[in-house]
Amino acid sequence: GAVVSQHPSRVICKSGTSVKIECRSLDFQATTMFWYRQFPKKSLMLMATSNEGSKATYEQGVEKDKFLINHASLTLSTLTVTSAHPEDSSFYICSAPDKRESSYNEQFFGPGTRLTVL
Amino acid sequence: GNSVTQMEGPVTLSEEAFLTINCTYTATGYPSLFWYVQYPGEGLQLLLKATKADDKGSNKGFEATYRKETTSFHLEKGSVQVSDSAVYFCAQTNFGNEKLTFGTGTRLTIIP
């Protein structure tokens, strides 16, 4: 199946700094990517839809100025957590649908990025 | 709106036991249904799917049948192995809408 990578896998930063997380589709193009946040022992919460060449679409309650998303190319989306605070510590996961094969668009997930804000 | 309700965990079973993880959904229209698995330290992987009523998804000995009448998609396996220990997520999406709605996840631990 298709492969999605994320970088870094783990990051620790000081409160007030910004952190950038990359999501790449390695062997397919993705005009759309999704960013999720996973809290400990909780489900995945969709944060936003990243759209290549246009603005991201944020879910209700997600601060777009806090979580900046840029879909710079057909294989790369970035999530920047600006002025990070300890409550932003979480596991961030991206996914991308592979539209090559059929009418059903299977989504492929990155391995996730563990963010810890001190 | 669309939602997925999943059996709360954690679930602990002995090797070779029978597994059922319940999942029900609410949706407008006709959703596609999925089970994803997250092994320790790894990202989510699609385990199986069903795109219309009465479809049965199967993979690695796991099965789930899309039951429209009960709005359910329960995951089953006849004989679990230690390597099945993971977190299992039930999810849905409507055709043409790529957004996935996840259940809360069920942590499964299989003991030898």
Beta strands A90-98 and A32-38, pairing class: antiparallel
Q: What is the model's pLDDT at position A2?
A: 82
pLDDT confidence of B96, banded at 50, 70, 90? low
Burial call A12-27: b when 16+ CB within 10 Å, e when fewer: ebeeeeebebbbbbee
pLDDT digits (tens, 9 = 90+) for B37-80: 999 878 889 999 998 999 999 999 999 999 999 999 999 999 99
Q: What is the model's pLDDT at position B93?
A: 87
Beta strands A113-117 and A10-13, pairing class: parallel
| CA gap A118, B23 in Å, rounded | 37
Nearest alpha carbon to residue B62 among B46, B50, B44, B78: B78
Determine, for residues A46 and B51 on separate chains, whether the beta-carbon distance falls below 8 Å: no
The alpha-carbon gap from A93 to the nearest alpha carbon of chain B, in Å, equals: 8
Report residue A31: phi and psi, to 5°. Answer: -75, -20
Residues 72-111 of B with CB under 8 A from A: 89, 95, 98-105, 107
| Neighbouring C-beta atoms of residue B17, cutoff 10 Å | 14
Using the Cβ of B11 and the Cβ atoms of chain A, whether some distance falls under 8 Å is answered with no
User: Which chain A residues have any C-beta within 8 angstroms of a chain B C-beta?
Assistant: 1, 4, 6, 32, 34, 41-44, 46, 49, 93, 95, 97, 103-112
Nearest alpha carbon to residue B93 among B46, B29, B37, B22: B29
Residues present in chain B in total: 112
| CA gap A91, A73 in Å, rounded | 24
The alpha-carbon gap from A96 to the nearest alpha carbon of chain B, in Å, equals: 9
**C-alpha distance from residue B14 to each of B22, B56, B84, B112 (Å):** 19, 26, 11, 6
| CA gap B56, A25 in Å, rounded | 29
What token pair was written down for B78? 């006849």
CB B95 within 8 A of CB B32: yes
pLDDT confidence of B95, banded at 50, 70, 90? low
Q: Of B51, B99, B107, which has the smallest distance from its Cβ to A104's Cβ?
A: B51
The alpha-carbon gap from B39 to the nearest alpha carbon of chain A, in Å, equals: 10
pLDDT digits (tens, 9 = 90+) for A103-115: 566 788 999 999 9
The alpha-carbon gap from A44 to the nearest alpha carbon of chain B, in Å, equals: 6
In percent, how much of chain B has pLDDT > 70? 97
Q: What is the model's pLDDT at position B66?
A: 97
Determine, for residues A43 and B99 on separate chains, whether the beta-carbon distance falls below 8 Å: no
Q: Span B9-21, mean pLDDT?
A: 95
